[in-house]
Amino acid sequence: MISLKYLYLSLLSAGAIAAPQAGHCRCRPHDACWPSHQQWSALNDTIEGNLVAVRPLASVCHAADYNAQACNTTTELWTNSFWRSSQPGAGQWQNWEAWPEHHESCYIESPRNSRCGQGRISLYSAKVRTASHVQKAVQFASAHNLRLAIKNTGHCFLGRSLAPESLQILTHEMKDIQVVDDFVPKGAPKGKGAGPAVTIAAGVQLSELYNAVAARNRTVIAGSSHTVGAAGGYIQGGGHSPFGAWKGLASDNALEFEVVTANGTLVTANSYQNPDLFWALRGGGGGSFGVVTRVTIRTHPEAPVIAYNINITTSGDDPRFWKAFSEFHAALPSLNDAGGSGYYFGSPNLPLGPNTSVSSLTSLLFFPEKTDQNEIAKLYEPLKSKLQQVGGVKVDDAAIPFPSVNSTIFTVLLQEGGTDTTGSISSLLVSRLYSKDLMLSDNGPGRLATAWKSLRWDPYSSFIGHVVAGPAVAASKNIDSAVNPAWRKTVSHLLLSRDWQWNATLGQQHSVIKNATEVEIPILRSVEGASHMGAYLNEASGYEPDFQASFWGPNYPRLYRVKQKWDPKGLFIARKGVGSEDWDDGGLCKIKS
């Protein structure tokens, strides 16, 4: 069985620092307006002693802060994403913890005597436990004109959960989960229950959610990670799932949000109350409209699953690999329409020995509510005969039956005792949503193959394809949701990452970013044209050009209006989020009035 180890890597910060206009900046540590010690203490009291001063994780390994024992623990836990989620002084990706343009970083690898800069790590963190704590922290940030950052797990690939010189709200400690048989949204007419659901507090992580519903013999639409947050950036950004073809996006399954808005009020957003906010929170992106304190999502009945694995291999450098790539994509609509969703991983340049390499594409799709292996195997026959015609292609395939969605998730996707390895990684994603229509058109798959073949494929580099849309996502197109309408037409969300080491110079980092932005993203976009389709806002470049159109398409103008209504002063600013274009890259100074 193949282990789907997500090769998710991430990025570094750049972007032009616009000249701040006087009077349009947040209050910063050296300004007279910065809260006094007494004022911070008063905040601490209102949130029951849960305020902490924050330093980057690796500070205990450097200079005056060096502490042998603490540094030893930090080193051992460095790549553990559970631990990183819980730490105010961490994100999951090194490049967003650092602030290289300001020469501030705190890499664990750098020499012990080197100074540890704060980077983009918040100065204080409110480790909130209740909605009331969230309200107090929001009111404090607003009253003192502070840069506010909302961190749940810190997984964001675009650097949205960290912000320099900020007060952080850390939602990690909010872990309540309630599974109910019939959820009645607030304000719903009598008898209008929405059916079986689960209400989760802001800090619940995916593996916790999956376990809680499985204990009740139910399942939910959520992602492939132990530690990504279920209620934060994931669902607010749309949220894709390996069972998307069956039940839609995570946000399509949202029934209600409870959210603290910019003026510190706790409001409910659902189909009956504040529907504009409900619309925006379903796909408008995390960190932009308020602090969600809990969310209720539908649960679904358990079902048996057949997983189908097909491996396509050619010798390295054989151009027929790209012909096979093209045939594989041409087959995706029929597999997806038959209820299959899941992933594929490609390694165009995989060294096997000193002088040998192969090109490989490994796919694993899940077919829920299926028990007949032959029925699924038949779906792959047309693809297999096409691959045979290509020639030079080795095909291995197997059907793997599972008794339940839960067992599929915990056997294949989230293996026991696993974690999502993160930490000493800096990289940049480039990605694009591709349509079913493209794959069905005469030369569409061929054009896709030509574009992806033209990218640089270093040894061991890979791409990941997400077959996470299709039938139920397409059928949800009338749901009142802000997700990019391109999702409803998508058959694959395809990405790769470009990374660098901690010691890459600023110039080297910028050259990777520049090439991704000016060469590689345009190649990805050229397949269907820049104005068609888009990119998934949670798994895209942190420097996505024209991000408003890429991430939201025609929904952007309405999202911007909803943002102005609920957050007119821009308290909630997240990188490449709704309204972020009015601020500089750090969200510190307004560049547009």
Ligand X SMILES: *[C@@H]1O[C@H](CO)[C@@H](O)[C@H](O)[C@H]1NC(C)=O
Residues 378 to 437: which contact ligand FAD by CB under 6 A?
420
Instruction: Tell me how far apart the terminal alpha carbons of the chain are, to the nearest angstrom.
Output: 55
Return the range that interacts with ligand FAD (CB under 6 A); candidates 193-201, 222-230, 320-328, 450-458: 222-230
- Crossing angle of helices 37-46 and 131-143, in 10° steps, is 160
Token pair for residue 486? 């391109």
| Residues between 493 and 522 that touch ligand X (CB under 6 A) | 501, 503-504, 515, 519-520
475 binding ligand X? (CB under 6 A): no
21 binds ligand X (CB under 6 A): no
**Cβ–Cβ < 8 Å for 295, 307:** no
CA-wise closest residue to 136 among 169, 162, 87, 166: 169
The entry of ligand X, ligand FAD, none that residue 189 binds, CB within 5 to 8 Å by partner kind: none
Q: Which of ligand FAD, ligand X, none sits in contact with 398, Cβ below 5 to 8 A by type? A: ligand X
Q: Give me the 138-157 binding string for ligand FAD, x by CB under 6 A, dash otherwise.
A: ------------xxxxxxxx
Q: Pick from 18, 53, 63, 506: which binds ligand X (CB under 6 A)?
A: 53
CB 219 within 8 A of CB 301: yes
Q: What is the dihedral of CA 571, 576, 579, 581, to 10 degrees?
A: 110
67 binds ligand X (CB under 6 A): no
Q: How far is the CB of 53 from ligand X (least distance, A)?
A: 5
Element spanning 364, H or E? strand 357-368
Distance CA 98, CA 542 (A): 14
**Shortest Cβ 251–ligand FAD spacing (Å):** 9
> Residues 6 or more apart from 40 whose CB is under 8 A from it?
51, 124
Query: What is the arrangement of strands in the sheet containing 166-170, beginning at the earlier edge strand?
Result: 51-53, 124-127, 166-170, 147-151
DSSP-H helix ranges across 124-182: 131-143
Per-position x/- string for 289-318, each x denoting binding to ligand FAD as judged by CB under 6 A, each - no binding:
--xx--------------------------
* Helix residue spans in 460-527 (DSSP H): 471-475, 506-515, 521-526
Q: Which of 502, 8, 542, 426 is nearest to 227 (CA)?
A: 8
Nearest to 430 by CA among 347, 549, 536: 536
171 is a site residue for ligand FAD (CB under 6 A) = yes
Q: Could you tell me the smallest distance in angstroms from the CB atom of residue 134 to ligand FAD?
A: 8
User: If binding is defined by CB under 6 A, does position 539 make contact with ligand FAD?
Assistant: yes
Which one among 110, 263, 271, 373 touches ligand X, defined by CB under 6 A? Answer: 263
Minimum distance of ligand FAD from residue 434's CB (angstroms): 16
Q: Is 248 in the site for ligand FAD (CB under 6 A)?
A: no
Residue pair 271/261 in contact (Cβ under 8 Å)? The answer is no
Task: Tell me the pairing of strands 254-260 and 463-467.
Answer: unpaired
Per-residue binding letters, 180-219, with ligand FAD (x by CB under 6 A): ----------------------x-----------------
Considering only the stretches 68-76, 314-322, 366-374, 484-492, report the one whose residues sit in contact with ligand X under the rule CB under 6 A: 68-76
In this structure, the number of other CB atoms found within 10 A of the CB of residue 292 comes to: 27
Binding site for ligand X (CB under 6 A): 2, 40, 44, 49, 51-53, 72, 75-76, 214-215, 217, 261, 263, 265, 301-302, 309, 311, 354-355, 362, 396-398, 406-407, 410-411, 455-456, 501, 503-504, 515, 519-520
List contacts with ligand FAD (CB under 6 A).
Answer: 6, 8, 150-157, 160-161, 171, 202, 223-225, 228-229, 231-234, 236-237, 239-240, 286-287, 291-292, 420, 538-539, 574
